[in-house]
C-alpha cells in the first residue's frame, strides 16, 4: 500500500564486432529493452550513454525525467527510431532512477558524464545505492577546492573516480576502484564507460545491492536484476560477487577482484519487495522467497480459519506470491479482492490526501470481500499513513465482516543508510509506538504491545508480522553467501558508518521522542 523506494537500476551492454543482424541503435536498443525490464526499480528518470568510436562525440549521453517508454518516445515509432539511431553504439550503460537523495530535477538523472581531453579520463557512469559517509567525503572534497553542484552522492562518486585517475598514464580500473572501495562506506553498484571503450561493472565489497551479467559469443550484458537478461539462457547468467568487477576491454571480458573478501550483507528487501518476482539474486529465487514468507505467516497463525467465510487477499502486486504461499499452507482460497490500476503511475497530490491516493491506486472487488473474514496479505508496513486510509476505504466500499492483516516483512524499526527511502525513525510506524528501552534494544522482534498499537491505529481486527528468523529461513542463499542486511529490522548495521549514523538516530530519538525526526544523513 505504501511504496518504499529503492535507489535505482543499472544496465550495461557490449556487442561483438562481428555480430550479425544488429538492431537499429545497437547498444542503445538493448539498453532500452533492459531498462524496460527494470522499470520497477526507478520511475523518476531514465538514461543511457553509448560508445561509438566513429562518432565525434565518442561517448554520448541521453537522459530525461519520466518512465522508460516516455523517455525513449516508444509511443511514436519515428521519434523512437530517431533516438536509437542518434545514440547508436557498440557499448553502453543505462540507468533508471528513484530519488532517495537529491531532487527529481533532470540534472540528477543518470548516467553522469564527465568530459575530458584525455580519452580514459572522459567517462560516464551509472550508480545504484547510497554512500553512507557522504557528509565526511563531501567535506574532504570541499577542503580540496571541489564543489558539488547537485549535492548528491552520485556527484561525489564522479569526483572521486576522476581524482583516482590523475597522471599521464591510464590506470588499471581494478586499482582505481580498489582505492575507492577503501573510501566508500555503503552500498554501490556501478556501471562505467570511458571514451577508450573500456567498460567496468562494479559491486560493493559486501554486496548490498544485486548485480549480474551474461556473456554469449562475445555478446555481454549486465544488469541489477536477472529479469533484464530475459533472452539469455538461465545457466549463462552469473552473479558478480561482492568486491568483484567485470572489465570489458579490447574484446575481452575479465572478472577481477578489487576489494578484499568481507562478510556479505545482501539487502533482504530485494527479496521481500524491490525485485521482480522472476529475478534470481545470488542463487536465491525472489518468487520462492516470497512464497516461503507467506507459508511461514500461515504456520504462525493464531486465528480460527475454519468455515466458508475466510478469504486471502493480496495487496497487489508484490505481495501476491506471499498471499499465495499463505493460502496454500492454510488451505484457504486466494482471490483478487483488490485490483490495482496499472495506468495511474505515480501520484503527486498537493493536499497529501491519503484516501484519494488509495482510491486512485486500487479498485475494490466487492463480490470477493463482502461479508467475508478477509486475510489481507501485504509485504510491508512502513509509515502506516496510506495503509490507515486504505483500510477505511476497504471497509466502506468492500463491506467485509472482518479485516486481518498479515505482513511478510517484520516491523521496520530503524533507518536505512544504504539506498532505501527510510531515513528517520519517527516516520516509521513501529518506532512511533516504541519506548526508549525497546528502541535501544537491537536484534529482537517488535513487542506485541507495539503491534497492538499499530493494529489499532490502522483500524484492523488483528495484525501479525513475519519474524526476523522467518526472513532468514525464507531467503535460501547458497552456503558461504548467506549474509543478509536486516539493519532496518534489527538495528545491526553491516558497516562502520551505518553504526555511527544509527547512534545519531538513537540520540535524536531520545531527545525528541514526540517529534517527527529530520534526515540525519
Alpha-carbon distance values, 326 to 319, 329, 367, 460, 476 (Å): 11, 5, 21, 19, 18
Which residue spans within 224-331 are E strands per DSSP? 237-239, 244-249, 252-257, 266-267, 280-281, 284-285, 310-314
β-strand pairing of 310-314 with 237-239: unpaired
Helices (H), 249-373: 269, 286-299, 320-330, 354-361, 366-369
Q: How far apart are CA 255 and CA 122, in angstroms?
A: 23
Q: How far apart are CA 485 and CA 208, in angstroms?
A: 7
Picking from 223, 220, 257, the residue whose alpha carbon sits closest to that of residue 241 is 257
Which long-range contacts link 69-73 to residues 24+ away (Cβ below 8 Å)? 69/36, 71/45, 71/46, 71/47, 72/32, 72/46
Q: How far apart are CA 225 and CA 497, in angstroms?
A: 27
**What residues contact residue 125 under an 8 Å CB cut-off, 6+ apart?**
93, 110, 111, 112, 157, 158, 161, 190, 191, 192, 193
Judge residue 293's burial from the number of C-beta atoms within 10 Å of its C-beta, 0-12 exposed, 13-18 middle, 19 or more buried.
buried
Q: For residue 416, indicate whether it is catalytic.
A: no
- The cell for 153 is 552522492
Q: How far apart are CA 112 and CA 48, in angstroms?
A: 9
Picking from 519, 425, 419, 442, the residue whose alpha carbon sits closest to that of residue 132 is 419
Can you say whether the dihedral through the CA atoms of 354, 355, 361, 366 is positive or negative? positive
Alpha-carbon distance values, 228 to 167, 224, 246 (Å): 37, 8, 18
Helices (H), 166-264: 173-183
Could you give phi then psi for residue 192, rounded to 5 degrees? Answer: -135, 140
Q: How far apart are CA 239 and CA 422, in angstroms?
A: 27
Q: Catalytic: which of 8, 212, 227, 488?
A: 8
Picking from 257, 8, 276, 256, the residue whose alpha carbon sits closest to that of residue 126 is 8
- Contact indicator for 93, 192 with CB cutoff of 8 Å: yes
Which active-site residues does the annotation give?
Answer: 8
Amino acid at each position: 500500500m505504501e511504496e518504499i523506494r529503492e535507489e535505482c537500476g543499472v544496465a550495461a551492454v557490449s556487442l561483438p564486432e562481428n555480430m550479425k543482424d544488429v538492431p537499429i541503435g545497437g547498444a542503445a536498443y538493448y539498453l532500452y529493452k533492459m531498462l524496460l525490464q527494470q522499470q520497477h526499480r526507478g520511475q523518476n528518470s531514465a538514461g543511457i550513454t553509448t560508445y561509438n568510436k566513429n562518432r565525434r562525440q565518442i561517448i554520448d549521453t541521453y537522459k530525461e525525467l519520466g518512465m522508460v517508454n516516455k523517455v525513449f518516445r516508444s509511443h511514436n515509432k519515428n521519434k523512437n527510431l530517431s533516438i536509437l539511431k542518434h545514440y547508436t553504439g557498440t557499448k553502453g550503460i543505462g540507468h533508471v532512477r528513484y530519488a532517495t537523495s537529491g531532487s527529481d530535477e533532470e540534472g540528477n538523472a543518470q548516467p553522469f558524464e564527465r568530459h575530458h581531453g584525455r580519452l580514459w579520463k572522459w567517462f560516464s557512469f551509472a550508480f545504484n545505492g547510497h554512500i553512507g559517509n557522504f557528509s565526511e567525503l563531501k567535506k574532504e572534497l570541499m577542503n580540496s577546492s571541489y564543489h558539488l553542484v547537485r549535492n548528491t552522492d552520485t556527484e561525489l562518486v564522479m569526483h572521486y573516480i576522476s581524482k583516482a585517475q590523475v597522471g599521464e598514464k591510464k590506470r588499471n580500473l581494478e586499482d582505481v576502484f580498489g582505492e575507492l572501495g577503501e573510501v566508500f562506506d555503503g552500498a554501490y553498484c556501478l556501471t562505467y564507460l570511458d571514451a577508450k571503450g573500456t567498460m567496468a561493472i562494479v559491486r560493493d565489497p559486501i554486496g548490498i545491492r544485486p548485480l549480474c551479467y551474461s556473456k554469449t559469443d562475445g555478446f555481454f550484458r549486465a544488469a541489477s536484476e536477472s529479469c533484464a537478461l530475459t533472452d539469455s539462457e538461465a545457466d549463462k547468467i552469473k552473479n558478480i560477487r561482492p568486491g568483484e568487477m567485470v572489465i570489458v576491454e579490447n574484446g575481452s571480458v575479465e572478472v577481477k577482484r578489487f576489494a578484499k573478501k568481507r562478510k556479505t550483507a545482501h539487502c533482504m528487501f530485494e527479496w521481500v519487495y524491490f525485485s521482480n518476482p522472476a529475478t534470481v539474486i545470488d542463487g536465491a529465487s525472489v518468487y520462492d522467497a516470497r512464497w516461503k514468507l507467506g507459508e511461514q505467516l500461515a504456520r504462525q497463525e493464531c486465528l480460527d480459519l475454519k468455515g466458508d467465510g475466510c478469504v486471502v487477499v493480496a495487496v497487489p502486486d508484490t505481495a501476491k506470491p506471499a498471499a499465495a504461499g499463505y493460502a496454500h499452507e492454510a488451505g484457504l482460497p486466494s482471490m483478487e479482492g483488490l485490483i490495482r490500476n496499472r495506468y495511474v503511475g505515480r501520484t503527486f497530490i498537493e493536499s497529501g490526501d491519503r484516501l484519494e491516493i488509495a482510491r486512485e491506486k486500487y479498485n475494490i472487488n466487492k463480490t470477493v470481500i463482502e461479508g467475508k473474514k478477509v486475510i489481507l496479505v501485504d509485504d510491508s508496513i512502513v509509515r502506516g499513513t496510506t495503509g490507515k486510509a486504505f483500510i477505511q476505504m476497504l471497509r466502506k466500499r468492500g463491506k467485509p465482516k472482518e479485516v486481518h492483516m498479515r505482513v511478510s516483512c517484520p516491523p521496520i524499526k530503524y533507518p536505512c543508510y544504504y539506498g532505501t527511502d527510510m531515513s528517520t525513525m519517527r516516520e516509521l510506524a513501529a518506532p512511533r509506538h516504541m519506548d526508549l528501552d525497546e528502541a535501544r534494544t537491537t536484534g529482537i522482534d517488535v513487542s506485541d504491545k507495539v503491534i497492538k498499537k499499530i493494529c489499532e491505529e490502522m483500524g484492523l481486527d488483528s495484525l501479525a508480522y513475519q519474524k526476523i528468523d522467518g526472513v532468514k529461513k525464507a531467503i535460501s542463499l547458497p552456503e558461504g553467501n548467506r549474509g543478509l542486511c536486516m539493519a532496518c529490522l534489527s538495528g545491526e548495521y553491516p558497516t562502520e558508518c551505518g553504526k555511527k549514523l544509527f547512534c545519531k538516530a538513537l540520540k535524536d530519538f531520545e531527545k525528541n521522542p514526540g517529534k517527527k525526526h529530520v534526515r540525519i544523513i
